[in-house]
Amino acid sequence: MPRSSQRDLAGQANLTIDQEIASLLTAIEREKVPDRLTKLAIELQNALILKRRCKTES
């Protein structure tokens, strides 16, 4: 198989993978996030901020 054909196939495979990733990301973005998970994420963010502040103060 000539090299240009191999590059074309690799490019098509990459495009297909990129489209699949984009499709998955879109589906994830559409999913409803449970309130409990949002609250936990905020608590985790706050704890990480506090930890970072403690490290910079010491």
- Tell me the pLDDT tens digit for each residue of 43-54: 999 999 999 999
User: Interior CA angle at 7 toward 5 and 12, to 5°?
Assistant: 95
- Tell me the pLDDT tens digit for each residue of 18-50: 999 999 999 999 999 999 999 999 999 999 999
**Cα separation, 11 vs 24, whole angstroms:** 20
The count of domains in the chain is 1
pLDDT of residue 29: 93
Structural domain harbouring 7: 3-57
